Amino acid sequence: MSENEKDISAFNRRDFLRGGSVATMMAMLGGVEVFAQTNQAPTGPTKVNVVKLKVAVIGLGAWGREIVNTLARIPEADIAAICDTYPAALKRIASVAPAAALTEDYKTILDNKEIKAVVIATPTGNHKDIALAALKAGKHVYCEAPLANTVEDAREIALAAKGSRQCIFQAGLQMRSDPQRHFLLPFIRSGALGKLAQSRAQWHKKTNWRSSSPNPDREKALNWRMDKTTSLGLIGEIGIHQIDQQGWFINALPAAITGFGSINLWSDGRDVADTVQAVIEFPKGVRMIYDATLANSFDGEYELLYGSDAAILMRESKAWMFKEVDSPLLGWEVYASKVQFYKETGISLVANASKTPPPNAQGQPAQEEPFINTPLSYALGNFLRNSVDLNSAAEDYKTSYGADDVDGLAEHLAKVPRRNAAGYLEGFQTVVTAVKANEAVTTGKRIELKPEWYELK
């Protein structure tokens, strides 16, 4: 459902080059970085109509607010309503979406026929009821990852999504929509790194993750992440994005996970680890070493893939390749921009596709405008455009061929091309991984993952 599976053996390195042919020519002229297509509208006198879609955001915690800020900068988004059970949360973000209706009851949004799509960013445990009701109401649904805290709930959501043939369902695995990662995917899958040795990823941020409220019930609800009955912890809530991404590049699902977790800094009564480590085993001996901590911020968030010919480092929307001295020369690398990382020379593979200036000589990113050209922005943009495309296709089918051909309509809608996005299957599979990863972390054991657990039935 998410992207074309190309015949990897037929992937030609020259096609990789040709894919950015204009950019390549410019690279040869002046050493400019190779960058991915973004299909941005050309500047010029033609003012192109943008088809807007009325969308609502349900759940206005830190990530919900990030979503509202991001949608506010997407031309296709018409934020018609925002919802939270906490009035203070509504007030806090209202100015970003001044035309949006404010509500504490998500059902008013589902009853509103004008609102065609909803983004669900409530605490994980609350996703299911809202997602199922939204699909039943015929809304397109973007549901944050992990979809649920249990495999059973995730299965229920995924099967409902599968059956709602006129609705777009997108899981909040925003990396799956990032154009730079899609640019890298065939490159990595073609074996450009040589034989894969291992993978590593981390998420470091010194923060207590805690919100406060004078109301004890509200405080408990706000701090759902710190409670083992409502949270899959650092690895299930944060790590899942990075584990999913690496599995996507490696083209395999985890076979086993070993984990550790402890509270090293924030002993404030929480029962969820603030520091976790895990080894995720993929087939053929390729293991991913993961660590996440709320106790230290050094080096933030990144993912690494190590191969016998090169390693690739991915950080936010940028990527660099570090070649082994004995690996074959790829002609284009002579012209590519290079960045020094201590003793290593990184060949810049991908630059941010916006017009922001390139990193400085030390590899530090230039000042960038927030909330645009982030993976979340691409994910939400693709969600809205997929929803608009599906709506148009359904309306045009009925206008052209009649409204009585229901099966023909469903068959047609299934073939409408979708922009890159994680669907219900990826959403379901990442919950299987998240639940087992969290189990490994909380028990300190090695948990094997049976392939049939990943099948959606």
Partner 1 sequence: MKKHLLISGKITLLLLASLSLQAADQKTIYAARSGSKMRIEGTSNIHDWQVESPFIGGLMEVGPGFPTEPGQEVKPGKVDAKVEAFITVRSLKSLEKDGRPYSDSMDGIMWQKLKGSEDEVTKKVPYPKIEYRLSELVLKEAPKAKDGAYVFDANGDLALAGVTNKISMPVNITPMADKKLKITGTVTVKMTDFKIDPPAPKIAMGFIKTGDPVKLIFEWIVAPKKAPTAASN
CB 401 → partner 1: shortest distance, Å?
5
State phi, psi for 21 to the nearest 5 degrees: -60, -40
Helix (H, G, I), strand (E, B) or coil at 199: strand
Q: What is the dihedral of CA 210, 213, 218, 224, to 10 degrees?
A: 0
What whole-number distance in Å separates Cα of residue 450 and Cα of residue 90? 43
> x/- string (CB under 8 A) for partner 1, residues 167-186?
--------------------
Closest to partner 1 by CB, 79 or 222: 79
Structure tokens at 230: 């409502």
Task: Report yes or no: 307 and 190 within 8 Å, Cβ to Cβ.
Answer: no
User: Footprint of partner 1 on residues 19-58 (CB under 8 A)?
Assistant: 22, 25-26, 39-44, 46-49, 51
CB 22 → partner 1: shortest distance, Å?
5
CB 320 → partner 1: shortest distance, Å?
24
State phi, psi for 213 to the nearest 5 degrees: -155, 145
Task: Report yes or no: 385 and 419 within 8 Å, Cβ to Cβ.
Answer: yes
Q: How many CB atoms lie within 10 A of CB 247?
A: 21
Q: How many CB atoms lie within 10 A of CB 303?
A: 24
Q: What is the H or E stretch that residue 438 is in?
A: helix 424-443
Q: How many CB atoms lie within 10 A of CB 326?
A: 7
Q: Contact region for partner 1 (CB under 8 A) — 105-113, 124-132, 228-236, 385-393?
A: 385-393
Task: Return the amino acid letter for 274.
Answer: D
Binding test (CB under 8 A) with partner 1, winner from 9, 212, 367, 399:
399
Binding test (CB under 8 A) with partner 1, winner from 219, 271, 369, 405:
405
Closest to partner 1 by CB, 44 or 216: 44
Closest to partner 1 by CB, 37 or 207: 37
Task: Report yes or no: 85 and 104 within 8 Å, Cβ to Cβ.
Answer: yes
Closest to partner 1 by CB, 47 or 457: 47
What whole-number distance in Å separates Cα of residue 414 and Cα of residue 6? 20
Q: Is 329 a binder of partner 1 (CB under 8 A)?
A: no
Binding test (CB under 8 A) with partner 1, winner from 152, 369, 396, 448:
396
Q: Contact region for partner 1 (CB under 8 A) — 7-15, 172-180, 251-259, 392-400?
A: 392-400
What whole-number distance in Å separates Cα of residue 137 and Cα of residue 423? 19
Structure tokens at 134: 């939204």
What whole-number distance in Å separates Cα of residue 310 and Cα of residue 190? 13
Number of residues that bind partner 1 (CB under 8 A): 29
Structure tokens at 96: 């970003």
CB 66 → partner 1: shortest distance, Å?
25
Closest to partner 1 by CB, 22 or 325: 22
DSSP per position, 358-375: PP-TT-PPPP--TTSSSH
DSSP at 451: G
Closest to partner 1 by CB, 288 or 351: 351
> x/- string (CB under 8 A) for partner 1, residues 415-444?
--x---------------------------
CB 428 → partner 1: shortest distance, Å?
26
What whole-number distance in Å separates Cα of residue 141 and Cα of residue 154? 14
CB 399 → partner 1: shortest distance, Å?
6
Closest to partner 1 by CB, 162 or 412: 412
Q: Is 9 a binder of partner 1 (CB under 8 A)?
A: no
Q: Is 401 a binder of partner 1 (CB under 8 A)?
A: yes
Task: Return the amino acid letter for 334.
Answer: V
> x/- string (CB under 8 A) for partner 1, residues 236-275?
----------------------------------------
CB 234 → partner 1: shortest distance, Å?
37
Closest to partner 1 by CB, 263 or 416: 416
Closest to partner 1 by CB, 239 or 381: 381
**Bridge partners, 318 (sequence order):** 315
DSSP at 299: T
CB 393 → partner 1: shortest distance, Å?
7
Which residues lie near partner 1 (CB under 8 A)? 4, 22, 25-26, 39-44, 46-49, 51, 385, 392-393, 396-397, 399-402, 405, 408, 411-412, 417
